[in-house]
Amino acid sequence: MMIPYQTLHIYEISGKIQSSRTFFKEDFIGCWNEGEVSFLFFSTPRDQEVEAFIQRKRFSLLSRNVLDYKAWQAGEELKPFKVGNLIFSPPWENGEVKNGEVLILIDPCVVFGTGYHFTTRSCLQALHQIYQKERPKVVLDLGTGSGILALAAAKWGAERVLAIDCNELAVDTALRNVSSNKASERIKVRLGEAEDFIEEEAELVCANLPSQVIDSLLDKDSFYQKRWFILSGFFAKDAEKIERRLLRQSIEIYQKRRESNWVTLVGLRSPRNDIGDL
């Protein structure tokens, strides 16, 4: 199977585009919104189609770029990798499994969640370790991206996962991955802001998000009603402030992982001697 995104044709548009798939069909990968700017991704050039659209909507074209998919993935060639008993593989690779292993097919498209970035990989490792000790039944995955953490939680024993992303393209990608892994009964994917879903009941919350979004979550009383917390997506300079806020709410810093300037924190709302060390 060939990679479906060999070459990316990216159009940067001034304006927030909603329900982009009602406007674009052929060779359309999706729309990435950043504030009031939108990025349209196609697998072939669509200059005339985009020009007609922006004239109709009175938007403007800010830039047009052509990029190799490998370059979009920071030069990484996506290959299968293993965390615990799970083998994560792009659909175009031959992910082989041995006895006791489970294959998860992850097509990251052009959104976050390949598993190659430290924040995603460390969240997967933390999630696996938690499920070696307990089995949280309800998980809230904020900033789900490709849906990789939601799928891992479901395969390790979560009975219900709510996966949230504010990006239309991420939601489309996560839904496709959940469906291809036959996990739609356990995982629900929704479009929205992380702060609007933190009140949802959950035993474990995963939030791989920028530090300013983490700060907003920490302002919510409902955040501290969860038992387990996996927080990532922020730099070391922000980690100390986040740690202090957790400790003030009697959340134990159960584990801290760091690579380069990135940090992942695992928090637990219970005494350490409740279940022992990870």
What does each of the 278 residues of the chain score in pLDDT, given as a tens digit? Answer: 678 899 999 999 999 998 899 999 989 999 998 889 999 999 999 999 999 999 999 999 999 999 999 999 989 899 999 999 999 999 999 889 999 999 999 999 999 999 999 999 999 999 999 999 999 999 999 999 999 999 999 999 999 999 999 999 999 999 999 999 999 999 999 999 999 999 999 999 999 999 999 999 999 999 999 999 999 999 999 999 999 999 999 999 999 999 999 999 999 996 544 444 44
Taking the alpha carbons at both ends of the chain, their separation in whole angstroms is 39
Within a domain: residue 256?
Answer: yes
**Which domain does 158 fall in, by range?**
112-274
**Does residue 54 sit in the same domain as residue 174?**
no
Could you give the dihedral angle defined by the CA atoms of residues 170, 109, 137 and 245, in that order, rounded to the nearest 10 degrees? Answer: -60
**Does residue 147 sit in the same domain as residue 262?**
yes
pLDDT of residue 271: 59
pLDDT of residue 29: 95
Within a domain: residue 66?
Answer: yes
Whichever domain contains 36, its CATH number is 3.30.70
pLDDT of residue 275: 43
**Does residue 157 sit in the same domain as residue 62?**
no
**Does residue 48 sit in the same domain as residue 127?**
no
Total structural domains in the chain? 2
Within a domain: residue 79?
Answer: no
Q: Is the dihedral of CA 72, 73, 74, 76 positive or negative?
A: negative
Last residue of a domain, one of 19, 53, 72: 72
Neighbouring C-beta atoms of residue 134, cutoff 10 Å: 15
CA nearest to 169, candidates 51, 45, 21: 21
Last residue of a domain, one of 48, 72, 96: 72
**Does residue 65 sit in the same domain as residue 186?**
no
Question: What is the identity of the amino acid at 189?
Answer: V
pLDDT of residue 261: 94
